[in-house]
Amino acid sequence: MKRPTRPVTPPAPGAASSPAARDRRQTPAAAATRAVVNSHNQAWASGELRAVLAHYHPQLCWHDHYAGLSYHGASLRDHVQRVLARSKLDSLRYLDAVRADGDTAVLQYTETIRSAHGDALLQIRACDVVRVQDGLIVQIDEYAVPMDPHPHPGAAGSPRDPTGQRARKPSAAAERLGLGARALGYLLADLQQHLASARPYLNPALTLTELAQATGYSRNQISFALNHGLGQSFYAWVNQTRVQHVLQQYAVTPHQPVLALARAAGFRSASTFYQAFRAQTGLAPGAYFRQTPLAVTP
């Protein structure tokens, strides 16, 4: 992998097209480009690696501008195979029809990365600029960014998707860590799977280093994914999981003292538990359970 050398500036989302631009898209060259890109999209939907690669020129280079990486040759094949293995057909939503001008096409979409149980973990927004040569795709510039999990209405900066979420801008940290926006979602899914199966959060002394060793990611990668994907620190995320564990256990054994359940879930102190519980539910434990005694099932 290498860093991109030929970045292409994507059009602004929702930008209006001029009559001249619309006319250009109706040219034979534009129609041929659009046909190749649509066929390429159908190959992705089929999940067949060979069908996807059949659309690629031998010299194709795929630039991931969020992570600052490029894929070609063997690394391109590995990248496509990895995405095909982890993407779901219902996770992609195109925001517009493919727009073509000569040998270049633009497509915009959102993708939702989900856990093994189907819970939405991260939404990304992407704009791909695709260049076609002799009926094959010769270059892909992918501008994919994770959506801000805690958007601030009226805030200036990054573009919004139709749900009102704000897209986070690429950062130098993402480039240093080599994590694309989609890879952030995969990392979060792996963390969620590890927590569900091994339940390391039950250990009050769980550290970021231990989680990194158990999952194969680095400390910096995990911290970056939690912060930019979920808007949380490591300890806030772990305590959120512990609160969910308390809620599930209370649904099974409501006669147990709540603080006993909290300690069994990994909380070291009552004050930490109360703070984490209120942050997640908006209520103190006593008030919450009086209102919804059996609100959560395991």
Domains: count for the chain: 2
138 and 64 together in one domain: yes
pLDDT confidence bin for 18, thresholds 50/70/90: low
Lowest mean pLDDT among 19-28, 45-54, 59-68, 169-178: 19-28
Q: Structure pTM? A: 0.79
Name the residue type at position 101.
D
Same domain flag for 171 and 123: yes
CA 238 to each of CA 16, 41, 83, 87: distance values in angstroms, whole numbers, following the listed order: 45, 38, 27, 26
* Model confidence pLDDT, tens digit, residues 140-162: 999 999 987 665 444 444 444 44
Q: Given a cut of 70, is residue 232 above it in pLDDT? A: yes
Higher pLDDT, 293 or 81: 81
Q: In this structure, are residues 170 and 66 in contact, taking their beta carbons and an 8 Å threshold?
A: yes
Domain assignment present for 104: yes
The pair phi, psi for residue 126, each rounded to 5°, is -135, 150
pLDDT (mean) for 99-121: 90
Are 150 and 239 found together in one domain? Answer: no
Name the domain boundary from 157, 181, 205: 181
Indicate if the pLDDT at residue 38 is higher than 90.
yes
Q: What is the mean pLDDT of residues 17-21?
A: 50
- Identify whether residues 172 and 197 lie together within a single domain: no
Of the residues 118, 151, 181, the one at which a domain ends: 181
Q: Quick check: is 240 in a domain?
A: yes
Using the CB atoms, write b or e for 48-65: b if 16+ within 10 Å. eeebbeebbeeebbbbbb
* C-alpha closest to that of 144 among 185, 103, 172: 185
Is residue 2 situated within a structural domain?
Answer: no
Q: What is the CATH number of the domain that holds 250?
A: 1.10.10.60
Q: Is residue 217 part of a domain?
A: yes
Q: Which of 18-32, 181-195, 253-267 is predicted with the least confidence, judged by mean pLDDT?
A: 18-32
Last residue of a domain, one of 116, 151, 181: 181
Number of neighbouring beta carbons within 10 Å of residue 192: 18
In a domain, 12, yes or no: no
Say which residues have a Cβ less than 8 Å from residue 191's Cβ, sequence separation at least 6: 211, 215, 217, 222, 225, 226
Grade residue 296 by pLDDT with cuts at 50, 70 and 90: very low
d(CA 56, CA 60): 6
Domain range spanning residue 143? 19-181
Pair (86, 110) in one structural domain: yes
Same domain, 166 and 223: no
Q: Identify whether residues 61 and 115 lie together within a single domain.
A: yes
- 3-state SS track over the chain: CECCCCCCCCCCCCCCCCHHHHHHHCCHHHHHHHHHHHHHHHHHHHCCHHHHHCCEEEEEEEEECCCCEEECCHHHHHHHHHHHHHCCHHHEEECCCCEEECCEEEEEEEEEEECCCCCEEEEEEEEEEEEEECCEEEEEEEEEEEECCCCCCCCCCCCECCCCCEECCCCHHHHHHCCCHHHHHHHHHHHHHHHHHHCHHHCCCCCHHHHHHHHCCCHHHHHHHHHHHHCCCHHHHHHHHHHHHHHHHHHHCCCCCHHHHHHHCCCCCHHHHHHHHHHHHCCCHHHHHHHCCCCCCC
Return the pLDDT at 167: 55
Instruction: Tell whether 37 and 144 lie within a shared domain.
Output: yes
Q: Across residues 126-152, what is the average pLDDT?
A: 89
Is 272 inside any structural domain? yes
Above 90 in pLDDT, residue 267? yes
Q: How confident is the model at residue 166 (pLDDT cuts 50, 70, 90)?
A: low
Of residues 48 and 21, the one with the higher pLDDT is: 48
Residue 152 lies in a domain: yes
pLDDT at residue 162, rounded to an integer: 44
Does the residue 4 lie in any domain?
Answer: no
Domain co-membership, 230 together with 279: yes
Of the candidates 191, 83, 224, 186, the one whose C-alpha atom is nearest the C-alpha of residue 142 is 83
Phi, psi angle pair for 92, to nearest 5°: -105, 135
The CATH number of residue 34's host domain is 3.10.450.50
| pLDDT of res. 89 | 59
Rounded to whole angstroms, the Cα distance separating 285 from 261 reads: 12
Q: Specify whether 60 is located in the same domain as 196.
A: no
Q: Is the dihedral of CA 161, 165, 166, 168 positive or negative?
A: negative
| pLDDT confidence of residue 280 | 94
Examine the domain organization and report whether 84 and 98 are in the same domain: yes
Residues 143 and 201 in one domain: no
The region, left, alpha or beta by phi > 0 then psi within -120 to 50, assigned to residue 154 is left
Around Cβ 204, how many Cβ atoms within 10 Å? 13
| pLDDT at res. 5 | 45
User: According to the model, what pLDDT value does residue 153 have?
Assistant: 46
